[in-house]
Amino acid sequence: MAKWFILAKKADFNKIAEKYNIDPLLAKLMRNRDIIEEEDIRKYLWGGRQDFYSPHLMKDMDKAVSLLCRKIGEGVKIRVIGDYDADGICSSYILLRGLTACGADTDTVIPHRIKDGYGLNDSLIEEAHEEGVDTIVTCDNGIAAASQVAYAKELGMTVVVTDHHEIPYEEENGERVYVLPKADAVVNPKQEECGYPYKNVCGGVVAYKVVQALFASVHPDNAAEILEELLEIAAFATVCDVMELRDENRMIVKCGLQNMQHTRNEGLKALIEVCGLNGKALSAYHIGFVLGPCINATGRLDTAKRALSLLNSRNRAEAVTIAAELKDLNDSRKEMTKKGTEEAIECIEQSEWKEDKVLVVYLPECHESLAGIIAGRLREKYGKPVFVLTKGEEGIKGSGRSIEGYHMYEEMTACKEYFTKYGGHKMAAGLSMEEINIEKFRRKINEVCCLTEEDFEEKVHIDAVMPFSYITKERIKELELLEPFGIGNNKPIFAQRNVHIISGQVMGKNQNVGKYRIRDEEGNSYEMVYFGDLDKFNDFLSARAGTESIMRMKDGRSVDITINITYYPSVNSYGGRESIQIIMQNYM
């Protein structure tokens, strides 16, 4: 079982509540998230577009914009080269839309995952040169492409790198020496000399900032309207690339979601429709787990050009057709992922390296585009950093997914002699290598690993022990001020002891939702739902109260099983009536 911890950070919650006209509960929740300073509290509760940081604070931004303005004036051909994941697709669209609005002669190329691999390569540069491209603008890639940028410069091309990934470095005498590509401009907030206040933005946000700065110089028609549409796309990219929803990221996603409710993008509107989300209050969850995977699926199983075509659609009929294709493709991806995950679990369970701190799983028959998703599923199951390797046309390709306390990119740098190519950040990474080096990599990545047993323990951080009787519809509504939720701004977790389960049944199309009648210590009854592993929960209840109680519950008869839970309150609307519903998250 996970360890539960009650957060006990101190502050004068009543004073904060009075000053900002909020419930003391919200004051406590903000303190738990280290939102302390007055300006941070204001931005957290009510921050918006006026609080976005100036794009000109990014190193080389003015240089990049000046260069692009000159190239637009000269009428030369500009090519945007992106990436095949959702962030790369969104970044490509943002730059393409922005440059086109400014009158640029521009097009976009997104590398093919299998044929080209990640980011810039020599063949893409040669192709651009042969087609008369004068200027290459990268997005969501390029920071690790020093040799490719040098090649483009040798051919006489101008190169602007826009990226957000970690800066590659070499170790010299125990010190890091960062290696930047010698492009004409490098816009990446992670550069040491960059004064941008918030470093952890995605490629889509960097692209958005470039367009913002470009519009301030060129002043195209409908600039404000275009920027509002592109804000939605930048928010979409932020969630899909699993960026922390802190600081500017949270405000971008908050404003982007508001726009998305009445989206200006015909393709996004069609995708929302085919995914059955029309009329629903969209959240970061819907981007990350419903809409985003459809955009990602095209780059995984086909070509990402189809997803870019969706965002570029100005015709509703065309947009709906493409959106339906992407949804079907994602449904196929789900089946393939399920099969690959099952194969990976079997491989781990039968292996001699099952107890390794870092799992390296080789699935030669798995489609290489699914490696990252499968790695994420394995990380959830085993609570360890995971690399999933597959056999590509040109050697081994793989993706890694990390846990808190393990910086994946830095750990990989200690093993870089085994890679032909690698890149990423703290929580995720990609790599290429020769098959002969798989076992060497597995051994070394574990030898250099400094994770302790404590790092592997699942921890549940509880915001407050809150009796159900304290919950009102008004308080639940006020909790919406904390949204959007996600990495870095988790949904609050509340706890209640001695909850009596009185009855229960299994619901849902796939019979995977538990619905229970519960009673608190004061004798008040409530409805509770659970979306987790029902078999595991039933095993827990059997151990707690005996199998007879479980059989009684399955037969629709009453029981009395006492447990402790963590939960989040919600309002359930059904048949025109509203009632408070408890959503269980953990139990013990």
| Claim to verify: residue 169 and residue 228 sit in the same structural domain | yes
Cα-atom radius of gyration of the chain, to the nearest Å? Answer: 25
Percent of the chain with pLDDT over 90: 80
Mean pLDDT of 469-473: 94
pLDDT greater at residue 363 or residue 456? 363
- β pairing state of 175-178 and 169-172: antiparallel
Whole-number pLDDT of residue 265? 96
- Three-state DSSP class for 500? strand
Q: Are 287 and 236 in contact (CB under 8 A)?
A: yes
- Three-state DSSP class for 67? helix
With a cut of 90, say whether residue 108 has pLDDT above it.
yes
Boundary (domain end) residue, out of 427, 456, 485: 456
Three-point CA angle 138, 240, 331, nearest 5°: 115
Boundary (domain end) residue, out of 200, 228, 260: 260
pLDDT greater at residue 109 or residue 459? 109
Q: Are 468 and 426 in contact (CB under 8 A)?
A: no
| Claim to verify: residue 413 and residue 471 sit in the same structural domain | no
| Residue at 335 is within a domain | no
User: What average pLDDT is seen over the chain?
Assistant: 93
H/E stretch holding 561 reads strand 561-574
Phi and psi for 548 in degrees, rounded to 5? Answer: -65, -40
| Residue at 147 is within a domain | yes
Q: What is the CATH number of the domain that holds 478?
A: 2.40.50.460
H/E stretch holding 263 reads none
| Claim to verify: residue 450 and residue 471 sit in the same structural domain | no
Whole-number pLDDT of residue 301? 59
Cα–Cα distance for residue pair 353/22, rounded to 1 Å: 52
With a cut of 90, say whether residue 323 has pLDDT above it.
yes
| Claim to verify: residue 365 and residue 228 sit in the same structural domain | no
pLDDT digits (tens, 9 = 90+) for 47-65: 999 999 999 999 999 999 9
| Claim to verify: residue 152 and residue 216 sit in the same structural domain | yes
| Claim to verify: residue 418 and residue 539 sit in the same structural domain | no
pLDDT digits (tens, 9 = 90+) for 378-391: 998 999 999 999 99
Looking at residue 564, its amino acid is N
Cα–Cα distance for residue pair 145/119, rounded to 1 Å: 8
| Claim to verify: residue 62 and residue 149 sit in the same structural domain | yes
Q: What is the CATH number of the domain that holds 402?
A: 3.10.310.30
| Residue at 328 is within a domain | no
| Claim to verify: residue 393 and residue 412 sit in the same structural domain | yes
Q: Which of 548, 525, 526, 550 is nearest to 537 (CA)?
A: 550
pTM: 0.88
| Residue at 384 is within a domain | yes
pLDDT band at 299 (very low <50, low <70, confident <90, very high): low
Mean pLDDT of 133-155: 96
| Residue at 266 is within a domain | no
Both tokens of 383, joined, read 């609570």
pLDDT digits (tens, 9 = 90+) for 165-174: 989 888 888 8
Boundary (domain end) residue, out of 422, 456, 490: 456
Whole-number pLDDT of residue 549? 87
pLDDT band at 300 (very low <50, low <70, confident <90, very high): low
| Claim to verify: residue 450 and residue 486 sit in the same structural domain | no
With a cut of 70, say whether residue 439 has pLDDT above it.
yes
| Residue at 13 is within a domain | no
| Claim to verify: residue 487 and residue 463 sit in the same structural domain | yes
Count of domains observed in the chain: 3
Whole-number pLDDT of residue 74? 97
Percentage helix, strand, coil for the chain under 3-state DSSP, each rounded to 5: 45, 20, 35
Q: What is the CATH number of the domain that holds 175?
A: 3.90.1640.30
pLDDT greater at residue 118 or residue 162? 162
Mean pLDDT of 397-402: 94
| Claim to verify: residue 253 and residue 118 sit in the same structural domain | yes
Q: Which of 152, 163, 164 is nearest to 121 (CA)?
A: 152
| Residue at 16 is within a domain | no
- β pairing state of 359-362 and 386-392: parallel
Both tokens of 443, joined, read 């051994």
Mean pLDDT of 523-550: 91
Q: Which of 382, 383, 396, 275 is nearest to 326 (CA)?
A: 275
| Claim to verify: residue 415 and residue 382 sit in the same structural domain | yes
- Give residue 508's domain range: 459-587
Cα dihedral value 140, 64, 211, 76, nearest 10? -100
Cα–Cα distance for residue pair 261/339, rounded to 1 Å: 35
Cα–Cα distance for residue pair 283/67, rounded to 1 Å: 38
* Exposed/middle/buried for residue 524 (C-beta within 10 Å: 0-12, 13-18, 19+): exposed
pLDDT band at 1 (very low <50, low <70, confident <90, very high): low
| Residue at 481 is within a domain | yes
Three-point CA angle 339, 406, 369, nearest 5°: 30
